[in-house]
Structure 1
C-alpha cells in the first residue's frame, strides 16, 4: 500500500510542472484555449492507453450509468476549469503562488468534504489537528504568494 503514496507523490510533482507546460503551450497559440483542447486530448489518450494496457477499460452498462448520482458527471467540467486556470493565470502569478493556492484550497475544501462525507467520500472528522493543518497551509500560501 505504501507504493500508492509514491505514485501520489509523483503525481504531485506532475501537478507542479503541468501548469507551466500548459501555460507555455497556450502562449504559443493565438487562441490560448486551443491548448486546453490539446491537453484534454492528451489526457484522454493517456487514459485510453493505460485502460487498454491494464485491462481496466470497458463501456459501462446502462445500470451503472443510471446508478451514478447526477453531480458525479461534472468532474470533467471541474477538471476543465483547472486546466483553463493553468492556461490563463499560472504564468502571471507564478508557480509557487499558483500551486500553493490550488493545493491549499484543495486541502481546506477536502477537510470539509471528509468531515461531512460529501461527494462520495467516507466521513473523516475535522479534528483540531486537521483544522490546524489547514490554517497552517493558508499561512504558508500567504507567505509564498505575498512575500
Structure 2
C-alpha cells in the first residue's frame, strides 16, 4: 500500500509541473494574482463538488479545528504566486527543483523535531545526502539559465 501511495504522489507531483506550465503564461497574460485566483477558484469549485458527493456526512466541523491548521491556505497562495512569477523567467525545471529543495529541507526539520503534530523521525545522513543531491541538481540546472 505504501508503494502505491508513493507512486500516486509522484504522479501528483507531475501534475504540479503541468500546473506550473499553465500558470506561467497565464500569469503573463492576465497578471500573477489573477492567475493565482483562477487556480484557487477552479480548485475550490472542484473540491466543493468532491465534498458534496464523496465527503462523509458525519465529519467533525471544519470550524472546530485549530485555526493554525488553516495556515496551509496562506502558504499555498504564496507558493502559487511565486511559481507564477518564476516559471516564465527561470523555466519549469529549475522552479520545480527549487520547490523540491525547499520542501525537503523544511520536511527534514518537521520530521526531525516532530513539528505540526507529526511523529518525530530523526534526521540521518541518508536524508541529508538526499537533500545535498537535490541542491546539486538545482545548481546544475540553474547554471544553464545563468550562462
Q: Which sits farther off after the overlay, 109-118 or 119-128?
A: 119-128
Q: Which residue does the alignment assign to 2:85?
A: 88
Q: Which residue does the alignment assign to 2:7?
A: 6
Q: Which runs of 5+ in 2 are unaligned?
A: none
* CA pair 49-66 structure 1, distance change in 2 beyond 3 A: closer
Q: Normalized against structure 1, the TM-score is what?
A: 0.87
SS state at 1:126 partner: coil
Q: Counterparts in 2 of 1:33-72, with a 5 A limit?
A: 33-56=33-56, 60-61=60-61, 65-68=63-66, 70-72=67-69
Q: Distance in 2 between matches of 1:27 and 1:59?
A: 40
Q: Counterparts in 2 of 1:1-147, with a 5 A limit?
A: 1=1, 2-29=3-30, 31-56=31-56, 60-61=60-61, 65-68=63-66, 70-147=67-144
Q: Normalized against structure 2, the TM-score is what?
A: 0.87
Q: Which runs of 5+ in 1 are unaligned?
A: none
SS state at 1:51 partner: helix
RMSD of equivalent CA atoms: 1.9
Aligned length: 143
SS state at 1:125 partner: coil
